Amino acid sequence: MMADQTIQKINRLLFYAILIFIVTVFFFPFMWVAFTAFQDAVNAGAVPPDLLAPPTLDNFRQVFEEGGFISCMINSTIVVALTLTANLIVSLPAAYVIARNRQNWMMFLILFMQMAPWITLLLPWYIIFKKLGLYDTYIGLVLSNLTFMIPFTIWLMLGFFEDVPVEVEEAAWLDGCSHLGTFVRIVVPLVKGGIITITTLGFMFCWNIFLFPLVLSGYGTKTLPVFVYGFMDDNQLDFGPLAAASLLTMLPVIIFVLINQKYFRQGIAFGGGK
Amino acid sequence: MLSQRILDYTDRQIRWLFSAPALLVMLGLFAYPMFRLIWTGFTDEVLSSEGKIEFIGVANYVRAFSEDPHFLRSIWLTLYFAVGSTLGQLTLGLGLALFLNRQFKGEATFRMLLMFPIIATPVAMSLVWSMLMNPMMGHLNYYLSLLGLPGSLWAADTSTVLPSLIMIELWHWVPMTMLVLLAGLKSLPKEPFEAATVDGASRFQMFVNITLPLLQPYVFLLLLLRLVHGLKVFDKIFVISGGGPNRASETLNIMIYEQAFGATNFGYASALGSFLLLIILLISIGLFRFRQRKWSY
Amino acid sequence: MSQVKIDKVCKKFGDFEAVKNFSLEIQDGEFIVLVGPSGCGKTTLLRMVAGLETVTSGEIFIDEAQITHMPPKKRDIAMVFQNYALYPHMNVYKNLAFALKLRKMPKPEIKETVKKTADLLGIGDFLNRFPNQLSGGQKQRVALGRAIVRQPKVFLFDEPLSNLDAKLRGSMRAEILDIHQRLNNTSIYVTHDQLEAMTMGTRIIIMKDGAIQQNGTPQEIYNNPVNKFVAGFIGSPAMNVMSCTIKEETGNLMAVNKGMNLTIPAEKTTGLTSYIDQDVYLGLRPEHISDLAGNATKADNSTFKAFVRLVEPLGSEQLIHLEAEDQRFIARIDPRSHITYGETLDFQAQMASATFFDGKTEERIV
Ligand SMILES: Nc1ncnc2c1ncn2[C@@H]1O[C@H](COP(=O)(O)OP(=O)(O)OP(=O)(O)O)[C@@H](O)[C@H]1O
Ligand SMILES: [Mg+2]
């Protein structure tokens, strides 16, 4: 009896020890960046760091003073908001139609569009966008984001739309609703969960995307990830400001996703992610 | 009366109205560019060239396979990175999922913390990692020294750069494979396990004979998805090593980018891109066949 | 005030003809029941009337107005679905009010109408609940209410009770009839349950393979089935149908097979004389087979020997499963008779109530 209990206790202890180790491995960089962002120039790069050094906001001041941080943040916000709105308007109706008339070739195209490497899209886009005057415009960035958001949204929403019983729609038609009215008043409210999921994941994808704006945005529409990349080149070994810039860049997306945690996990478990 | 008829007609044709915007966007931004990419791959287009683009047949492909020694090397580097990180993600993810497939206090907090690597902006985290991996001032070497191990040059050395990048890729995505597999484990039917317990199977026997076969569709699907993802990784490599040192981490994606926007060889870059696209297409077909067979969607 | 006329309607899914040349006229206020085995096209027909399915050929009219190609929202028809099809994101009040709102009825009026309907159905206390907070029976009432509330020209019901348990089904049946009697709406009610059909319909349409087999009142159909299919479909347990040959012996017609040799009474012989020495089907309802227990008159020309395979005591009656040579059938017998498994006894067939069907066409002879 006693021995059994002791073994159980040791087992539990061991389990939590391993758990804490795992958490440390995966969470450590965040602790480091949060710590370093508040250190002065001397302590930020010191090994081992002085954990008790007084925190300072100088690094953040430097990030904000470096031209463009605020405007890049605004650009990012605008592009994300526009993309997510446009995405819902374009993808939801299409996903609904496909869900009601599913065919194999459609499914394959949607899958393949998610698989295609972004760099191969970027080459022709660069030429086309320059020609059409879409280079360095919000529209251009939104369009580039839509290209991966649309197939992903359709893919994810199919299941949600298929779960809406056809009879419910038919009941609405008989009640006197048009097709469009049925879609807006009956179907869309029933896939609300999917819409929140797609918006959460979409916020993450669009906020984080680097390659498209790296090539397709200029001074006018530069987004935060591109800003951080440039900031890194300018401040090679200045760990404090670099950490502050990294922290500021990822804070909005982390907060947004954590608010919708439940939906985020659903989305991840669904698609095996991107 | 007429306007009512028009409204009725539109309402009946709603499926076209509904799919048109998505169809147009995907035609303009996917289908046409793909065609354009493949076509450009057979020309000598350079970024600055004005109007004098010539069709040169398969010359770009000949150049890639027989004249550019780095092309074959970059295929090897790409595969190294993609396969290495895929296998790592699956083994670690599966191991963690099995370890965590139970109920414990603090589960919710734990899962929340593990979501951070997936969510955080990759460019920002790449920057953080490159600071951590700094051979002189970085924390990683300091911790190694605490354990009495020699430091490493990490991304600054040709022999360690790819393993270092794979390590970061694992840090980034293992939490996700783990969450997916954990969801898979939790959705497995209970009966086979109960039956096996009654039959007196050991834990290990249960794992080999029941868990793995039942989990196999998840694992295989994830394997293909992560492999395709691995073949496309750009941000990390570009930010941390930029393909260096000495092109030791210049995978296909980086090479195409450099050829197109660095060396301005647009035709050549497009040929390389078409090649990458072909590989991805083949894997997609395999994935699709598998999905149709095993899964309802 | 609406009649429905279905005129030579056909429906094809690819090459498969689900509804064949179907014609039917329904009078104002009639409660018609469509019954038939699974897959015979009942739902398809109903959905064509509702406008949810296109019509391949033929025409449908409501009150003389051609509605064959009209979209459903304009037909002013209400349908009650098997799985209720309530709007999951609306509470009961909104479910009922939805159609009225679409018709731009003023708010106070909507409120009053919904309230009246809800009280009629006894769901007045649930108006704020959502569908997933209701029991099956309550959901069905809401679905009914949603149909009633807008006073449509025609009601369609597609197996509305089949998701309910047996007891609830019985009481809902009565309730639907009660409502029909109060509102007197033209209704088409689809079911594959013959008991439901017999108890509910003022007129029953029996369908098979997309075509009408018989159209009549429950009594007509029970007593005078037009063919072997209808005879076997209606009644519980169904009519016993045995194959036999018509013979003539000493001026009498006899129905003969391996285990039986039954005299056909004179009033039945008229149609059968032309069938002498031919194969026919003999139909006997279970209540038309009795044991000889109480009868003094022993074996006459309408008795036969049969082996008792199973006894099902049901309280007010007992069902005896019998076997005579290769033929199996069921008799409904007074519970006071002591019949046990394994016996071989004499039974009497009331040949005056027997029905005969053609051996090939399966149409009724007499
Ligand atoms: N959309 C369709 N495409 C092809 N065949 C169909 C379609 N809908 C129905 N059918 C076929 O038409 C026939 C009639 O179907 P229907 O649903 O009307 O039967 P039902 O009488 O309502 O049967 P149940 O009692 O099972 O509801 C069936 O054989 C069915 O397989
Ligand atoms: Mg049906």
Query: Which CATH number fits the domain that encloses residue A145?
Result: 1.10.3720.10
3-state secondary structure chain C: CCCEEEEEEEEEECCEEEEEEEEEEECCCCEEEEECCCCCCHHHHHHHHHCCCCCCEEEEEECCEECCCCCHHHCCEEEECCCCCCCCCCCHHHHHHHHHHHCCCCHHHHHHHHHHHHHHHCCHHHCCCCHHHCCHHHHHHHHHHHHHCCCCCEEEEECCCCCCCHHHHHHHHHHHHHHHHHHCCEEEEEECCHHHHHHHCCEEEEEECCEEEEEECHHHHHHCCCEHHHHHHCCCCCCEEEEEEEEEECCEEEEEECCEEEEECHHHCHHHHHHECCEEEEEECHHHEEECCCCCCCCCCCEEEEEEEEEEECCCCEEEEEEECCEEEEEEECCCCCCCCCCEEEEEECHHHCEEEECCCCEECC
Residue C365 domain-assigned (yes or no)? no
Closest protein CA for atom 29 of ligand 1: C39
pLDDT-derived band at B49 (thresholds 50, 70, 90) equals low
pLDDT-derived band at B38 (thresholds 50, 70, 90) equals very high
Closest protein CA for atom 17 of ligand 1: C43
Give the distance from residue B74's alpha carbon to the nearest chain C alpha carbon, in angstroms.
54
Atom of ligand 1 nearest to the CA of C210: 14
Rounded to an integer, what distance in angstroms lies between the CA atom of residue B64 and that of residue B44? 13
Judgement on whether residues C199 and C321 belong to the same structural domain of the protein: no
Residue A19 domain-assigned (yes or no)? no
Judgement on whether residues C348 and C220 belong to the same structural domain of the protein: no
Residue A34 domain-assigned (yes or no)? no
What does the pLDDT read at residue B296? 39
Q: At what angle do helices C166-183 and C136-148 cross, to 10 degrees?
A: 20
| Chain A from 190 to 209: CB within 8 A of any C CB | 190, 192
What does the pLDDT read at residue A143? 94
**C56-97 per-position pLDDT tens digit:** 999 999 998 899 888 888 889 999 998 889 999 999 999 999
Range name among A81-85, B64-68, C19-23, C30-34 with the lowest pLDDT average: B64-68
| Chain B from 2 to 21: CB within 8 A of any C CB | 8, 11-12
Cβ pair A229, B130 in contact under 8 A: no
Residue A56 domain-assigned (yes or no)? no
Cβ pair B130, A264 in contact under 8 A: no
Judgement on whether residues C159 and C66 belong to the same structural domain of the protein: yes
Chain centroid, CA B137 distance in Å: 30
Judgement on whether residues C287 and C200 belong to the same structural domain of the protein: no
Residue C363 domain-assigned (yes or no)? no
pLDDT over 80 at B17, yes or no:
yes
Positive/negative CA dihedral, C86, C88, C89, C92: positive
Judgement on whether residues C293 and C199 belong to the same structural domain of the protein: no
Q: Which amino acid is at B283?
A: I
Cβ pair A96, B27 in contact under 8 A: no
Q: What number is the ipTM of this complex?
A: 0.90
Report how many domains make up chain C. 2
**Ligand nearest C207 Cα, by number?**
1
> Of C9, C12, C13, C157, which is best to mutate to test ligand 1, by the most ligand atoms within 8 angstroms of its C-beta?
C13
Query: Which residues have C-beta within 8 Å of that of residue C201, sequence separation ≥ 6?
Result: C31, C32, C33, C35, C189, C217, C218
Which residues form the pocket of ligand 1, taking CB atoms under 6 Å from any ligand atom?
C 13, 16, 18, 36, 38-44, 192
Q: Which amino acid is at A36?
A: T
C357 closest CA partner among C178, C249, C213, C164: C213
Atom of ligand 1 nearest to the CA of C40: 21
Kindly list the residues from chain A whose CB atom is less than 8 angstroms away from the CB atom of residue B268. Answer: none
Q: Report CB contact under 8 Å: A170, C99.
A: no
pLDDT-derived band at C290 (thresholds 50, 70, 90) equals confident
Closest protein CA for atom 30 of ligand 1: C39
Among C208, C233, C258, give the residue marking a domain's end: C233
Residue A202: phi and psi, rounded to 5, are: -65, -40
Cβ pair C43, C190 in contact under 8 A: yes
Q: How many CB atoms lie within 10 A of CB C72?
A: 23
Closest protein CA for atom 31 of ligand 1: C39
% of chain B residues with pLDDT over 90:
36
Rounded to an integer, what distance in angstroms lies between the CA atom of residue C233 and that of residue C229? 6
Q: Report CB contact under 8 Å: A225, B36.
A: no
Among C182, C217, C233, give the residue marking a domain's end: C233
pLDDT over 90 at A11, yes or no:
no
Residue C95 domain-assigned (yes or no)? yes
Query: Which residues have C-beta within 8 Å of that of residue C354, sequence separation ≥ 6?
Result: C255, C264, C268, C282, C283, C284, C288
Rounded to an integer, what distance in angstroms lies between the CA atom of residue C289 and that of residue C347? 7
Domain of residue C306, CATH code: 2.40.50.140
Q: Which residues are paired to C323 by β-bridges?
A: C307, C328
User: Which range in A83-97, B104-118, C176-190, C196-210 is most confidently predicted, on average pLDDT?
Assistant: A83-97
% of chain A residues with pLDDT over 70:
98
What does the pLDDT read at residue C33? 94
A187 closest CA partner among A178, C64, A66, C78: A178
**For all residues of chain C together, what is the average pLDDT?**
88
CA B56, B60, B61: angle at the middle one, nearest 5? 120
Q: Which amino acid is at C266?
A: A
What does the pLDDT read at residue B184? 85
Where residue C334 falls (left for φ over 0; alpha for ψ -120 to 50; beta otherwise) is beta
Range name among B291-295, C140-144, C231-235 with the lowest pLDDT average: B291-295
Sheet hosting strand C65-66, strand order edge to edge = C16-26, C4-13, C57-62, C65-66
Q: How many CB atoms lie within 10 A of CB A176?
A: 20
Cβ pair A120, A154 in contact under 8 A: no
Residue A28 domain-assigned (yes or no)? no
What does the pLDDT read at residue B297? 35
B211 closest CA partner among B98, B85, B81: B98
Judgement on whether residues C98 and C208 belong to the same structural domain of the protein: yes
pLDDT over 90 at C265, yes or no:
no
**For all residues of chain A together, what is the average pLDDT?**
89
What does the pLDDT read at residue A26? 93
Task: Walk me through the domains of chain B, giving residue ranges and CATH numbers.
Answer: 54-296 (1.10.3720.10)
Among C233, C249, C266, give the residue marking a domain's end: C233
pLDDT-derived band at C300 (thresholds 50, 70, 90) equals low
Residue A25 domain-assigned (yes or no)? no
Rounded to an integer, what distance in angstroms lies between the CA atom of residue B280 and that of residue A116? 7
Cβ pair B124, A228 in contact under 8 A: yes
Q: Which residue of A has its CA nearest to C100?
A: A175
Helix (H, G, I), strand (E, B) or coil at B55: strand
Residue C366 domain-assigned (yes or no)? no
Question: In this structure, what DSSP letter does residue B120 have?
Answer: S
Report how many domains make up chain A. 1
| Residue B60: exposure state from Cβ atoms within 10 A (0-12, 13-18, ≥19) | buried
- Which two three-digit tokens encode residue B117? 């690597």
**B125-137 per-position pLDDT tens digit:** 999 999 999 888 8
Judgement on whether residues C99 and C211 belong to the same structural domain of the protein: yes
- Comparing B172 with C366, which gets the higher pLDDT? B172
- Which two three-digit tokens encode residue C291? 């044991």
State mean pLDDT over A154-158.
91
Q: Which residues of B74-88 are buried (b: 16+ CB within 10 A; e: fewer)?
A: bbebbbbbbebbbbb
Residue A5 domain-assigned (yes or no)? no
Q: To which residue do tokens 């104002």 refer?
A: C28
What does the pLDDT read at residue B7? 65
Rounded to an integer, what distance in angstroms lies between the CA atom of residue A186 and that of residue A172? 8
Q: Which of B22, B104, B137 sits opposite A94 (nearest CB)?
A: B22
Rounded to an integer, what distance in angstroms lies between the CA atom of residue A187 and that of residue A96? 9
pLDDT over 50 at B23, yes or no:
yes
Judgement on whether residues C33 and C148 belong to the same structural domain of the protein: yes
Sheet hosting strand C252-257, strand order edge to edge = C260-264, C252-257, C240-249, C279-284, C355-358
**C38-58 per-position pLDDT tens digit:** 889 999 999 999 999 989 999
State mean pLDDT over A143-151.
94
Query: Which residues have C-beta within 8 Å of that of residue B199, sequence separation ≥ 6?
Result: none
Q: How many CB atoms lie within 10 A of CB C57?
A: 11
State mean pLDDT over B89-108.
89
pLDDT-derived band at C298 (thresholds 50, 70, 90) equals low
Residue C287 domain-assigned (yes or no)? yes
Q: To which residue do tokens 């007045």 refer?
A: C124
Residue A99 domain-assigned (yes or no)? yes
What does the pLDDT read at residue B12? 67
Q: Which of C50, C85, C88 sits opposite A190 (nearest CB)?
A: C88
pLDDT over 50 at C296, yes or no:
no
Range name among A94-103, B122-131, B202-211, C96-105 with the lowest pLDDT average: B202-211
- Which two three-digit tokens encode residue B185? 């484990």
Residue C350 domain-assigned (yes or no)? yes
Structural domain range at position C102: 4-233
Rounded to an integer, what distance in angstroms lies between the CA atom of residue A109 and that of residue B116? 32
pLDDT over 70 at C293, yes or no:
no
Judgement on whether residues C218 and C244 belong to the same structural domain of the protein: no
pLDDT over 70 at A51, yes or no:
yes
Kindly list the residues from chain B whose CB atom is less than 8 angstroms away from the CB atom of residue C75. Answer: none
Give the distance from residue A271's alpha carbon to the nearest chain C alpha carbon, in angstroms.
26
Residue C108 domain-assigned (yes or no)? yes
Q: Which of C52, C86, C146 sits opposite A170 (nearest CB)?
A: C52
Structural domain range at position A102: 67-273
Helix (H, G, I), strand (E, B) or coil at B43: strand
Q: To which residue do tokens 């396969």 refer?
A: B83
Rounded to an integer, what distance in angstroms lies between the CA atom of residue B156 and that of residue B241? 8
A207 closest CA partner among A255, A155, A252, A242: A252
**For all residues of chain B together, what is the average pLDDT?**
86
pTM as predicted: 0.85
User: Which range in B40-54, B201-215, C275-289 is most confidently predicted, on average pLDDT?
Assistant: C275-289
Positive/negative CA dihedral, B237, B240, B241, B242: positive
Helix (H, G, I), strand (E, B) or coil at B296: coil
Give distance in angstroms: CA of C49 to centre of ligand 1: 15
Cβ pair B265, B45 in contact under 8 A: no
B226 closest CA partner among B177, B290, B279, B157: B177
Judgement on whether residues C200 and C290 belong to the same structural domain of the protein: no
What does the pLDDT read at residue A274? 38
Q: To which residue do tokens 């074996």 refer?
A: C299
pLDDT over 60 at C215, yes or no:
yes
State mean pLDDT over A32-42.
86
Cβ pair C92, A194 in contact under 8 A: no
Residue C250 domain-assigned (yes or no)? yes
Give distance in angstroms: CA of C75 to centre of ligand 2: 21
Residue A126 domain-assigned (yes or no)? yes
Cβ pair C302, C348 in contact under 8 A: yes
Rounded to an integer, what distance in angstroms lies between the CA atom of residue A76 and that of residue A206? 8
Closest protein CA for atom 5 of ligand 1: C13
pLDDT-derived band at B51 (thresholds 50, 70, 90) equals low
Q: Which amino acid is at A273?
A: G
Kindly list the residues from chain B whose CB atom is less than 8 angstroms away from the CB atom of residue A80. Answer: none
Rounded to an integer, what distance in angstroms lies between the CA atom of residue B151 and that of residue B173? 25
Q: To which residue do tokens 């939790």 refer?
A: B186
- Which two three-digit tokens encode residue B87? 């296998």
Domain of residue C37, CATH code: 3.40.50.300
